[in-house]
Amino acid sequence: KRNNMKYFKLLALAVAIILASCNAQERVLYLQDVENGSEISLPENYLIHLKPLDQITVVVNSKNPELAVPFNTSTSYSSLTGNTVSSSATSSSLQILTVDDRGYIDMPIIGEIKCAGKTREEVASDIEQKIKAGGYIADPKVNVRFADLTISIIGEVTRPGRYDIKKDQLTIFEALALAGDMTIYGNREDVAVIREQDGKNVITKLDLRSQDIFSSPCFYLQQNDVIIVSPNKYKAATAEINQNRSFWISLASTGISLASLVMTIIIASK
């Protein structure tokens, strides 16, 4: 009977360890409901669209480079002489254009171009068409690039911070990779993305354990998105224990100090 009881305890312990391991694995695995070979449709209209106050660079090219020079030149006034000073965007320092609060940029010669709500390619196409329509260049090729494309990642990741991104097609998984992935304490079913839309901050919650993430409008990120990875309940419990431990240690230290002070006063009074 004693042997049977011993075996039963060992079996119960083994089952408990296996169950705990399974639960731990479920807490840290991504895409738990996706089978091998699954084909999942991705969201449409996923490219980053320009917004007011975005900064971009615009370079116009042509088979005849001299024709493109006026479009790649920004004109400003010298604060010392008051004379106009021109700089070419083909130099090592490209001119940076800021989308105004109405959603437009002001290009040399051709004037205003609407950018808000459009992709880089759409803005480049609009500039090309306007240059052709004005009869300035017959074969313009326009390259539009972002100058300030950033996202922020905070919370339970290895390297929280603000990141410059080099492309306008970045997924939530790629963003987490930039930050060194979540820590073991990151809550994979509660990741928040804060996105500015129409003057408001819109918060979208994501469950990275589910394939539903692929249909979320936040699967592909936009400029200035903020990703917040919340801690799981185990990290929260650990933090609370540490806080309580610090409190009691501090209380005990204060008590000892007071006791020492009282003893010193008593001895001095004698």
**216 burial class (0-12, 13-18, 19+ CB within 10 angstroms)?**
middle
pLDDT at position 245: 55
**Rounded distance between C-alpha atoms, residue 70 and residue 85, angstroms:** 13
φ, ψ (nearest 5 deg) of residue 264: -65, -40
Residue 179's nearest CA partner among 236, 227, 230 is 227
**Rounded distance between C-alpha atoms, residue 175 and residue 155, angstroms:** 13
Which helix (H) or strand (E) segment is 97 a member of? strand 96-98
- What does each of the 270 residues of the chain score in pLDDT, given as a tens digit? 555 565 555 555 544 444 444 455 466 688 887 778 778 777 776 789 999 999 999 999 999 989 999 998 654 333 333 344 444 444 435 778 999 999 999 999 999 999 999 999 999 999 999 999 999 999 999 999 999 899 999 999 999 999 998 888 899 999 999 999 999 899 999 999 999 988 899 999 999 999 999 989 999 999 999 999 999 876 555 544 445 455 455 655 666 666 666 566 666 666
How far from 62 is each of 136, 137, 243, 259, CA to CA, in Å?
Answer: 11, 7, 65, 86
How far from 95 is each of 57, 132, 221, CA to CA, in Å?
Answer: 6, 22, 26
Asked if 174 and 218 touch (Cβ cutoff 8 Å), the reply is: no
pTM over 0.85: no
